[in-house]
């Protein structure tokens, strides 16, 4: 417990030291701390990976920009650093492209008639790089576990340490959650997908708590990512649901006036439920993870706002803000696991609904 507390304290100190130069830079540039820009800017996706600000200079990792020009129809590949440097030196755009601050910093193209359009954009953004990092971490973890099981006889030797922890997590999610929610008869085809979803969300959430590279990206707080995860669950539910599932949707066992005449009320409700179930998954994960990041960043901003008002007020609220940041970081570690667990649990429950057993009804 002492080691966990010490590590959490170090994490909070690292977060404070990371955000401090960034906050000071914003204060010196605009005469005050722009909390909205700092919080939303940190959580938004970007074409570069901002690491820190030192001496008034932003230290960032440029990422590849891949866009298709609407004027020429050709694909353009260049570094986001080149584009930022050109615009910083007074250029209106770079190869006809510019960052539209009114559209969350997305890349737009200037057309000959003076209008701006959004080109096809396949750029490697901050969220994409974070996803690749998560994939490499998961591959390293599970290939290491697979190598151990390949070299050892589990009937004579039990895993220890890290391997034992991973086995415990896998068996808990597989046996208690997936098998219990879907049913022993149908759970096996869905277990690989649901285990992948759980560990992807869990590791992504943990890396998102790190304030410095290679962490800090708000991947699960991005509505596009949670939309894709919910879409995958929606496809798993509806593409492989059995005939009893579809019968319950279009011809449920209710009185005829509820499913056919004068309006098919129950089928309409059930079809609407096909969309609302994954929608609930998408919004739940997105809102919880985005809120946690916003609260931690807001507490960090309070420190620098109050120091501009008064040294005495700043000293007192610095201690309070630091304690709250420490508490929120501890809470977010728990939330990282809970949100991964809940998303997997609800996905398994919805998949289980798609495999109802046929019940024969006998009339007297």
Last residue of a domain, one of 87, 106, 123: 123
107 with 183, same domain: the answer is: no
* Distance in angstroms (rounded) separating the CA atoms of residues 149 and 145: 6
- Give per-residue pLDDT as tens, 87-127: 888 888 888 898 888 887 889 999 888 888 999 999 999 99
Confidence grade of residue 364 (pLDDT, cut at 50, 70, 90)? very low
106 with 156, same domain: the answer is: no
134 with 106, same domain: the answer is: no
Selection from 178, 175, 170 nearest residue 352 by Cα = 178
More confident residue, 359 or 143: 143
Burial track 223-255 (b if 16+ CB lie within 10 A, e otherwise): eebbbebbebbbebbbeebeeebeebbeeeeee
- Using CB atoms within 10 A of its CB, is residue 34 exposed (0-12), middle (13-18) or buried (19+)? middle
Selection from 62, 65, 92 nearest residue 76 by Cα = 65
188 with 306, same domain: the answer is: yes
188 with 103, same domain: the answer is: no
250 with 281, same domain: the answer is: yes
Residue 151 lies in a domain: yes
Position 34 pLDDT exceeds 70: no
**According to the model, what pLDDT value does residue 33 have?**
59
Q: Which domain holds residue 103?
A: 64-123
105 with 247, same domain: the answer is: no
More confident residue, 195 or 112: 195
Bridge partners of residue 116, in order along the sequence? 110
* Distance in angstroms (rounded) separating the CA atoms of residues 92 and 328: 42
Structurally, how many domains does the chain consist of? 2
Range of weakest confidence among 28-32, 56-60, 79-83, 272-276: 28-32
Q: What are phi and psi of 50, to 5 degrees?
A: -75, 120
Residue 137 lies in a domain: yes
Contact (CB, 8 A) for 80 and 48: yes
Sign, CA torsion 13/18/23/25: positive
- Give per-residue pLDDT as tens, 289-326: 888 877 777 777 777 777 776 666 666 777 777 787 78
Position 357 pLDDT exceeds 50: yes
195 with 319, same domain: the answer is: yes
Last residue of a domain, one of 99, 123, 147: 123
What is the rounded end-to-end Cα distance, in angstroms, of the chain?
64
More confident residue, 154 or 70: 70
Three-state secondary structure string covering 136-164: HHHHHHHHHHHHHHHHCCCCCCCCCHHHH
């Amino acid at each position: 417990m002492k080691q966990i507390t010490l590590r959490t304290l170090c994490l909070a100190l690292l977060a404070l030291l990371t955000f401090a130069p960034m906050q000071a830079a914003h204060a010196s540039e605009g005469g005050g701390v722009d909390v909205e820009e700092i919080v939303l800017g940190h959580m938004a996706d970007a074409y570069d990976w901002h690491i820190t600000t030192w001496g008034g200079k932003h230290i960032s990792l440029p990422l590849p920009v891949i866009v298709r020009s609407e004027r020429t129809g050709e694909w353009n590949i260049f570094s986001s650093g080149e584009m930022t440097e050109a615009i910083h030196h007074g250029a209106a755009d770079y190869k006809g492209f510019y960052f539209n601050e009114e559209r969350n910093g997305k890349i737009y193209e200037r057309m000959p008639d003076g209008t701006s359009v959004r080109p096809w954009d396949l750029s490697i953004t901050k969220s994409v790089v974070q996803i690749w990092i998560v994939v490499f971490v998961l591959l390293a973890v599970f290939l290491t576990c697979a190598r151990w099981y390949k070299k050892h006889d589990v009937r004579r030797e039990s895993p220890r340490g890290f391997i034992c922890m991973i086995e415990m997590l896998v068996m808990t999610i597989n046996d208690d959650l997936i098998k219990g929610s879907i049913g022993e008869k149908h759970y096996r085809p869905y277990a690989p997908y649901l285990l992948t979803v759980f560990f992807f969300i869990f590791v992504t959430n943990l890396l998102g708590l790190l304030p410095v590279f290679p962490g800090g990206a708000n991947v699960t707080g991005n509505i596009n990512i949670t939309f894709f995860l919910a879409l995958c669950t929606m496809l798993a539910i509806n593409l492989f649901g059995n005939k009893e599932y579809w019968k319950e949707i279009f011809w449920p066992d209710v009185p005829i006036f509820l499913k056919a005449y004068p309006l098919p009320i129950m089928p309409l409700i059930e079809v609407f439920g096909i969309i609302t179930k994954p929608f609930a998954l998408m919004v739940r994960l997105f809102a919880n993870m985005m809120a946690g990041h916003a609260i931690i960043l807001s507490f960090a901003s309070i420190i620098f706002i109050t120091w501009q008002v008064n040294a005495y007020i700043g000293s007192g609220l610095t201690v309070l803000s630091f304690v709250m940041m420490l508490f929120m970081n501890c809470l977010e570690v728990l939330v990282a696991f809970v949100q991964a667990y809940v998303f997997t649990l609800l996905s398994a429950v919805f998949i289980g609904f798609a495999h109802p057993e046929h019940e024969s009804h006998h009339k007297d």
